[in-house]
Structure 1
Amino acid sequence: MTTLRTVKVHRIGTAGPDDIEGLRRAIDDGEIDPKGIVAILGKTEGNGCVNDFTRGYTSHVLKHALASWRGSAPDAIARDVAIVMSGGTEGGLSPHLLVFEVGAIGLAPSEAVSVVPSLAVGVAMTRAFAPEEIGRMPQVEATADAVRRAMQEAGIESARDVHYVQVKCPLLTKQRIADAHQRGRSVATLDTYRSMGYSRGASALGIGLALGELRADQVCDSEICSNAALYSGVASTSAGIELMENQILVVGNSPRWGGDLVIGHGVMQDAIDTDAVFDALAPLTLSEPGRLTRAERERVVAVLAKAEPSASGEIRGRRHTMLDDSDIQASRHARALVGGVLAGVFGDTQLFVSGGAEHQGPDGGGPVAVIASRAPSRLVPR
């Protein structure tokens, strides 16, 4: 008998940053084996900015709960499980968790010869960064190395089989900046909010290097957050105050994995590009082009996307005011906009829409990925 790894993705709504009751019930009912959890992605209802402590709070609660359920130390959870919380549920976005659980299935010899690519995941962590490395080439290079390690762990041999890479990365605070200055080191920026963009951007460029989307000679410190033409089409990076390393989750398809889940992706050219969303839906083999039936919607288990206001101040020639609002940060507007567009397609608001898309798709757009059960009439996603 052939044994293959398999991954399940559980989508669980939350009532607040400390709410893990849905996850607890799933574990108590035997629906989830806590020892199989390799990553948890989540949307929390903070502001998504430097002082969004809901991300760290939720991560803390999850880390200690997992340690208890698995009979291990919280530090071991931090090493073994990627816990990526993305702040900001503007508009109709609904706070929730996406739990990635790895297990195994056995195949009879007759089944093994017909194995087709299924959802595959790999997790890796970088070392902790010094403040002066955040948003600079050391972060780019360490991220690229970690992505390669995560691909190897996942058994994904080709970059074209990678459809989504999630990174949780650090940011600069005034204390971290002061620490660097006391040691005679400069930092990428003195603006703590802008440091989030530098960290996200450096991480995304690292993904691009690892997957061959970018050449090594294209990327240097001066290009980070200045050359929008350099980007990855599968990168999703989110910065937070709660860590100093990069945590990486690589998601793709591999014949070394079993199960009925697959992932596809597209690259939105702007915030209302639903054509790219339907590119991501290719594995579903839609019965009607440009539309999801109720049955097809029910096969979708996760939707992951990036959102960023276009620097031009326009969407398809029409002026937008996201960058002119002094009361609400522009990425919060963008999350609400993209969340609304996607909710209209999927008929659901539990969407992992992350703001801040530096080097993650073209200016004003961004990657979108969909995890769904395989279409009965189609075994391999294009």
Structure 2
Amino acid sequence: MRSRRAVVHRLPASGPDDVSGVETLFDGGLDPKSVVAVLGKTEGNGCVNDFTRGFAARVFGDLFERRGAGEVAVVMSGGTEGALSPHWTVFAREDVDDAPTGALAVGIARTADLPPEQLGRRGQIEMVAEGVGRAMADAGVTGAEDVHFVQVKCPLLTAARVEDAARRGVTTATGDTLKSMGLSRGASALGVAVALGEVDVDHIDDEDVCSGFDMFSGRASASAGVELDGHEIIVLGMSEAWSGPLTIDHAVMRDAIDVASVREARERMGDGALVAALAKAEADPSGQVRGRRHVMLDDSDISSTRHARAFVGGALAGLFGETEIYVSGGAEHQGPPGGGPVAIILDRSRS
């Protein structure tokens, strides 16, 4: 009996153009055509002008074209503040002659380009929800309860994109390019929530994006960037049709220091070596963490997303004993306000 098996490699990066580790994997026998997704943490500022994301995505695109890979979802998240380590997480899948046992499943989807006037509005929510459904089907995950993490790379607004909308006689949700990142992340997260049945799309208005924070997904991770106009979507879950030693579970941090919830999820998973930890982080919009004032939102020199990545990254690094953690800043509608989802992938064959 045949099944699918997921293969995940986490590799250090000396810079946004360092794909030597992936080259070594290919030279060692990993079939480039088996690779379906790459999650990367690059050492840029994670803001509108973070060109390390586009640089890394271009380098990976060139690598995959040169090596004859197929369609690969390349998601680059800028910002490795504090002691977070730049790295790549490569997801591959292969057909094997093993009986299905239930294991990590990986699926991808790509949407059409998003018209700038739809960013941060219902149009984006519906586009992402439809894309998540296709990524679930690609993974062979049939139930929303089996999905543990959905990574969306979404676009942002540039001055040129805002001007394009104005020339066509339509308005954008904002003219502020930095604010557009949050709106895009928020709408994308709500799209995930709709796809997974966490929120009813009929209950969402345009004004709820980055406002109605009682609506959120406990499994969405969205990262905005200038390097694309549509959405790259990666679904990670469990499927009985897959085999292999990899397993995934998730927790939802209720605030930036809620490592207890993550520890509980890790203990629930039992024995196994950490393959990857994927997390969201944001400065609590209330200006407080457990009743104590924070000043992340008042810093005019450093974006609050950079503070949050460093803070949550440090907390999780202490828990896992590992600095190669994928921490993405800006968690609008991704977990409760000030908190965020965390996914853990283990290899049950190693300890």
Which TM bucket (shorter chain)?
over 0.9
TM-score for both structures, normalised by structure 1: 0.90
CA-CA distance at 1:25 after TM superposition: 1.2
Give the structure 2 partner of residue 280 of structure 1.
265
Secondary structure of 2:97's partner?
strand
Secondary structure of 2:152's partner?
strand
What are the equivalent positions in structure 2 for 1:71-110 lying under 5 Å apart?
Answer: 80-107=71-98
Selected match of 1:63 from 50, 61, 64:
61
CA change 1:374–1:68 in 2 (3 A) is same
Give the structure 2 partner of residue 121 of structure 1.
106
Is the CA contact 2:118–2:172 (under 8 Å) kept in the aligned structure 1? yes
Gaps of 5+ in 1: 287-295, 378-382
CA distance in 2, matches of 1:352, 1:167: 13
CA-CA distance at 1:374 after TM superposition: 2.7
Question: 1:267-315 CA deviation, whole Å, 9 max, x = no partner?
Answer: 00001101221233245326xxxxxxxxx5xx01000000001011111
CA distance in 1, matches of 2:290, 2:234: 33
Give the structure 2 partner of residue 27 of structure 1.
26
CA-CA distance at 1:183 after TM superposition: 0.6
CA distance in 2, matches of 1:376, 1:81: 27
Q: Percent identity?
A: 54
CA distance in 2, matches of 1:152, 1:184: 37
CA change 1:167–1:252 in 2 (3 A) is same
- Greater CA drift, 59-68 or 271-280: 271-280
CA distance in 2, matches of 1:276, 1:85: 26
Q: CA RMSD in A?
A: 1.4
Q: Does 1:168 align with 2:153?
A: yes
Tell me the number of residue pairs that the alignment of Structure 1 and Structure 2 aligns: 351
Gaps of 5+ in 2: none
Q: Does 1:370 align with 2:344?
A: yes
What code does the residue aligned with 1:329 have? S
TM-score for both structures, normalised by structure 2: 0.97
What are the equivalent positions in structure 2 for 1:182-331 lying under 5 Å apart?
Answer: 182-282=167-267, 284-285=269-270, 299-331=273-305
What code does the residue aligned with 1:81 have? V
Secondary structure of 2:84's partner?
coil
Is the CA contact 2:101–2:240 (under 8 Å) kept in the aligned structure 1? yes
What code does the residue aligned with 1:363 have? P
Give the structure 1 partner of residue 2 of structure 2.
3
CA-CA distance at 1:134 after TM superposition: 1.2
Is the CA contact 1:171–1:240 (under 8 Å) kept in the aligned structure 2? yes
Give the structure 2 partner of residue 353 of structure 1.
327
Is the CA contact 1:163–1:265 (under 8 Å) kept in the aligned structure 2? yes
Secondary structure of 1:367's partner?
strand
Give the structure 1 partner of residue 308 of structure 2.
334
Secondary structure of 1:35's partner?
helix
Is the CA contact 1:93–1:336 (under 8 Å) kept in the aligned structure 2? yes
Give the structure 1 partner of residue 17 of structure 2.
18
Is the CA contact 2:189–2:222 (under 8 Å) kept in the aligned structure 1? yes
- Greater CA drift, 85-94 or 122-131: 122-131
Secondary structure of 2:7's partner?
strand
What are the equivalent positions in structure 2 for 1:46-57 lying under 5 Å apart?
Answer: 46-57=44-55
CA distance in 1, matches of 2:104, 2:281: 24
Which stretches of structure 1, 4 residues or longer, exceed 2 Å deviation after superposition? 374-377
Question: 1:190-243 CA deviation, whole Å, 9 max, x = no partner?
Answer: 100000011111100000000000012221211111111110000000000000
Larger radius of gyration: 1
